[in-house]
Amino acid sequence: MINARQLTWRVGKRTLVDGIDLQLQPGELLAVLGANGAGKSSLLKILSGQWPLQDGAIELDGHPLSEFSRAELAKVRAVMPQSSPLHFPFRAWEVVALGRTPYGRKRKAVEKHLALERLRLTGTEHLAERSFPTLSGGEMQRVHLARVLHQLLSSTAEHRYLFLDECTSSLDPAHQHQVFQLVQQLTAQKIGVLAIVHDINLAAQYADRVLLMKAGRPLVVGPVQDCLTPANVAEAFALRTHQLAHPEADWPLLVAQREPVERLSPATH
């Protein structure tokens, strides 16, 4: 389990994360939602060890996160950031093969075989020989997801954790659902997943728990049905919604009202 207590992070006089207590269990999907600038990505970077701890405490399976070297962390957690710029003309399978860097390299034929297995997980094996910079934004995202899965699934650690920062932002609706179905399969393997999500209904359908953030603070954290309510969504996003009954399941379905936000008036001179 990842256990965080009173996490606070400041840049100058600005507080990006303010006194957050949070746990991430192996085998659960925790969706983090909030408006732009709410502190979601900052929280992810702190929890995953990308940013050094300022205030508060983080334990990974009972040990302070600070006790883990970068190499040790790379074998128990993987991070997919919002963007992963890569301008070298690597083929897609070579990008995925980079995920095995913490474990040492094997013969090229073996590395390629392993990379192709991960590409199949994200439905991108047909892109294996394509030059990475020539891929569409959505194709790049799915290849990078294969890369971080390669990193994590190559580990023999008992508990593993995956951090996803808007991993479906460039994907069409069908591929968004495919990715989160895959994430559910990972949680079935006792992998803990923290995913920053902007689509409220995707989070409602796939998450085990939700953290709603506002101005660096936790607004509410808990089961989907308790957190994703019209009142909480209005508080977090300044968005007016209706809650409907899903025709096939018990998760909430939130739709925008006819006048969901305050209108912006064009500037006049």
Encode pLDDT of 62-80 as tens digits: 999 999 999 999 999 999 9
In the sheet with 2-11, reading across from the earlier edge strand, the strands are 14-24, 2-11, 55-60, 63-64
The answer to whether domain 2-217 has CATH 3.40.50.300 is yes
Range with the poorest average pLDDT among 51-60, 77-86, 107-116, 145-154: 77-86
Residue 239 has pLDDT above 90, yes or no: yes
Residue 141 has pLDDT above 60, yes or no: yes
Average pLDDT on 14-43 reads 97
Instruction: Quote the percentage of the chain above a pLDDT of 70.
Output: 99
Residue 82 has pLDDT above 90, yes or no: no
Q: Indicate whether this model's pTM tops 0.85.
A: yes
What is each CA distance from 134 to 83, 94, 95, 144, 170, in whole angstroms?
Answer: 16, 14, 13, 14, 15
Indicate the domain borders of the chain: 2-217
